[in-house]
Structures are given as C-alpha cells and as structure tokens.
Structure 1
Amino acid sequence: MRPLWIVSALLCYSVITSAAQVIEMVSPYDTPPFVVDQKKEQGLVYDLASLLTVRSQGKYQFKVVVVPRVRLQKILQRSGVYVVPLVSPKWFGDGDEKKYLWTSALMEDENLVLSPRKRALEYESPASLQGKRTSIVLGHAVEPVQQLEKAGMVKAESTQSFNNSLRMLARGRIDFMVMGRIVAVYLIRDLGLEDQIYISDKTIERFDRKILVSPQSQKDLHKWLEGEIQRLRRSGEWKKYLRAELSLKNCDLAADPQFI
C-alpha cells in the first residue's frame, strides 16, 4: 500500500490537470520498479509523472505511455513534444548530449554482474566472462553483453522477462547475467532469491539516469524540468518516492543506487 502522502499527491494530480498542456512521458520500461502495474498506473515512472504534474501547478500534465524499445526508436525520429524518463544519453548514441535535450541526473545506477551463489563469479574484466552462458531479455539487451556475444566470448539465451532470467540464474542454468542495480535489487527481493544469487563487487559500468527532452519541445519545458530536478535534489522529495516504491526504508542505501 502506498504511503498517505503519495496518495494525496495523486489526488492533487487528478484535480489540476484539466487545463494543462499534455506532455507524453514515453517509457521504454515495462518492468518493476519503473512500471509495476500499467492498469493501476503504479511504478517509479508513474510517480515521476504525477510528481512533476503536481509541481507544475496546472501548467503541464505528464501522461505516461509505455512502449517497446523498437517503437521508442521510431518515436524519436518523429517531431513532437515528449520526454523519455530515467534513461542514459549513451543508450541513444548521445554521449555528448547534443542530439537531444537532457536534464541533470535524477539518480545514478550501475550494471551489476549476477551469478548463482553456488558458482559465485567475481567480475574483474570482460575476460572473466569468457566461455560463460548468459541470458538476454528480449527488448532489453544490455550493450556490454551484446558486445561480448558478437565477439563470441559468451553464449546468450533469449528469455521473455527478467523474472525468467533470474530464476534460470538461481537454478544454475546460466552462469551470469547483467542487470541495472535498481531493477536487480527490486526483482531479487520480490522473487525471494537473495540467498541464491551472488552480486559481484565490481560492476561493468556506471551511468546516470536523466530525462530526455525531444528537440522539438519548447525551451521553456526543458528549462522548467531542469529547475524542478535541481529543486527535487535539494529537497529530497524524489528520494521519498524511491524509498516508498523500492521498500528501502530499512535497508542500507549505500548498497543501492545513489539517490541524488
């Protein structure tokens, strides 16, 4: 059950959106904790949309649209006003942040190397994964793993969901998999696999999660979003949403993504 303060924010969201400019928040995520339940509009992406809508005081209404990554690439090629939440510039070939407009980071994340606890794998370099078996979730390929597969260093098996891949890993059917920490921590706890999956101390890569703003969007929208993120970082309000959604109240935050 959501805390009362989140429920109150959602009630405000429904009251003030009638005359606001609708901004599509296009999410390539369909998995927890980003999208927990599409019908009930639960998850970090929905929380972010409602939070920004409320804070705009009637100027904007952020409407979440969940799409596959293939469709997102097509959306990025068309003109229009939209934002893509909690993504990294390098995933879109925009490391220098000149192709799209970007906000500051809402959080930092990192790609973890997971392995069966009975065959714990300590990642040191790509050579550590040579000859190993892994799993790639359809539509959610991780670039470092794709590169290893193309180089013939690892063998990859496709699955339909992260849950399936984690269960395969826990049973020892694959040797390792790579997942972002925020998704891995949530799903491992949700599936009760804490005692069956080992997380390597060294990560493959770290990255920032930002908001992509379409080039056709008004500069006012980008400027407003950047200002709000700076204020959210200072106030700690976004951290409250993260803790509530990820159920991290009694956990060591140092072991989870950096909550900026």
Structure 2
Amino acid sequence: MLRILSIVFVLYSSAVLGAESSGENNAAKPLVHLYTYHYKPPFLIDTHAQQGFYYDVVDYFNEQSELYQFTVTYLPRKRLDYLLGQQQLNGIVMGVLPKWFDDTNEQNYQWLPGFYPDKDAFVSLTSTPFKYINQASLTGKVIGCVAGHYYVNVNEAVEKELAQRIDTVAEYQVLQLVKKRRADFGLISESTFKYFAKQSDFTGNFHVSQKSHDEYSRRAFITSTQPKLHEEIRRLFALAQSTGSWQSLRKKYE
C-alpha cells in the first residue's frame, strides 16, 4: 500500500512540475498583441468567452510559434491612433487596409498579405430595396453608418447635402436603423451581415445591393521594429496561407 501511494505521489509530483514548467515556458515567451478596433462579429464575438475569428487566429499562432505568445487586444480607433502616434504599440494591427491609415504607399508600416476577403455592403429592406450604381444613387437618401468610419462617395454626398447620414455605435445598430425605417439603407461589412444572418431569422427582411460600396481583403500591419518578430509573424502568415489554414479558420464564420 505504501509503495502504491509512493508511486502515485511521484506521478502526481511529476505532472504538477511538468505543468508548472510548461507554464513557465509560456510565461517566458514575449507577449505579442493582435490589436483590433473592430468590435464586431465575426472578428470579436465575445471577449469574455474569447470567441471570434481573431481568437481562433491567436490559438493557431500559439500552436505554431515556439518564440512568442499571442493575445487579442481590443482598442477603440482613437486610442489606437494615439498609441501609434506615440509608438507605444508592440504587435500587429489586424483587419485593416493601407488607405485607412493614410499609408497607400505602404511606407509607414510593415504590411502583411490579405487574409479575409470582405465587402462594405449597402443593406436595405426587401420592401424598399436600394440599388447602388454610383454617387448619384445616394441623392435624397438617409444612410445609416457606424460613427467615425469614412465611406468614399457617401461622405462626399453628405458634405454636398445630397444625402443625410445617421451615425450609430455599431453595425447591428445600423441594421436596426434600417429595420425601423429611420434610414433608407445602411452600410455594413458583408462578413458581419452574414454572421448576423446565420444567428437570427431576419435574413428575409433585408436586401443587399448587388454592387457593393467597396471590396477588399482585410490585411494587417506590424508596429514593432524588432526584425526577429517581423520574421516570425511573416512566417506564421505565410504558413497559414500555404496550408489553407486561413480558409479553415474563416469557414465557420462564412
């Protein structure tokens, strides 16, 4: 009996020490942030439960990297811009385009390839469908938008007083403006609209214009000046591309 207890104690001690050693190894890895200012599905669904596409990306990166530990960090756009200006960010800004950061020549940041195809879609009610052709299509319309977002042609039409813009806090609220007929149509990311459509029964209430406002592939840029970190991040992005992992990670949200 004593021998059995001794063996159990040894096995238990080994397991605990192994877990502690593993924890220490993880803790010893430098922490790298995946920053995002898009607090919306499918990218961030539930930060408390750590659900959403970016959390899946972090899990994948942590499985594949022996050098760094990755984590998702949400920052409002104004806070993100401030910290970028102060050079106080260490990591990757996810889901963005160079033109959104006045870096169309890609000189200010280290840009990574696209990883998530997306669109900005015009969404209206099926009873009063909106068909977008060009800026003239916006004349006399009330447009629901997310506050702080710039939309080419839309902003200009509003400035010329050809159209009216109503801002709200997020894309779900944009859909509510349309549903309540406070806006003729709204602008919403297609990826987000598809997520909402899968989660509820309102799909039939909305019409998506065949011509979108903009089509793009979401990208990321590196804010750190550490060459070793750059190399590892580029390796992870390339690995996800070559193995089809980007597509696999997106699949459950599309």
- Which of residues 219, 228, 252 is equivalent to 1:210? 219
Determine the C-alpha separation between the residues in 1 that align with 2:45 and 2:190. 16
Shift of the 136–231 alpha-carbon distance from structure 1 to 2, 3 Å rule, reads same
Matched, 1:53 2:62: yes
- Which of residues 82, 85, 97 is equivalent to 2:94? 85
Matched, 1:32 2:41: yes
Report the Cα offset of residue 236 of structure 1: 1.3
TM-score (structure 1 length as normaliser): 0.82
Secondary structure at 1:79's aligned position in 2?
coil
Determine the C-alpha separation between the residues in 2 that align with 1:202 and 1:234. 31
Q: Which runs of 5+ in 1 are unaligned?
A: 1-13, 249-260
Residue 120 of structure 2 is matched in structure 1 by 111
Q: Bigger radius of gyration, 1 or 2? A: 2
Contact 1:232 1:238 in 2 (8 A): yes
Contact 1:17 1:53 in 2 (8 A): no
Contact 2:174 2:188 in 1 (8 A): no
Aligned-residue RMSD, C-alpha: 1.8
Contact 1:89 1:95 in 2 (8 A): yes
Secondary structure at 1:227's aligned position in 2?
helix
Matches within 5 A, 1:1-260: 17-57=26-66, 59-80=67-88, 81-139=90-148, 141-144=149-152, 145-214=154-223, 216-244=224-252, 246=253, 248=254
Determine the C-alpha separation between the residues in 2 that align with 1:188 and 1:151. 34
Residue 7 of structure 1 is matched in structure 2 by none
Determine the C-alpha separation between the residues in 2 that align with 1:206 and 1:37. 26
Report the Cα offset of residue 208 of structure 1: 2.2
Q: Which runs of 5+ in 2 are unaligned?
A: 1-21
Contact 2:116 2:250 in 1 (8 A): no
Residue 255 of structure 1 is matched in structure 2 by none
Deviations for 1:57-105, whole angstroms, at most 9, x for unmatched residues? 2x11112211111111111112242211121111101111111111111
Report the Cα offset of residue 120 of structure 1: 0.6
Determine the C-alpha separation between the residues in 1 that align with 2:104 and 2:58. 25
Determine the C-alpha separation between the residues in 1 that align with 2:125 and 2:57. 34
With 67-76 and 222-231 compared, the bigger mean Cα shift is at 222-231
Residue identity in the other structure for 1:113: F
Residue identity in the other structure for 2:75: V
Residue identity in the other structure for 2:126: R
Report the Cα offset of residue 43 of structure 1: 0.8
Q: How many residue pairs end up in the alignment?
A: 230
Report the Cα offset of residue 137 of structure 1: 2.2
Determine the C-alpha separation between the residues in 2 that align with 1:181 and 1:39. 25
Report the Cα offset of residue 35 of structure 1: 0.6
TM-score (structure 2 length as normaliser): 0.84
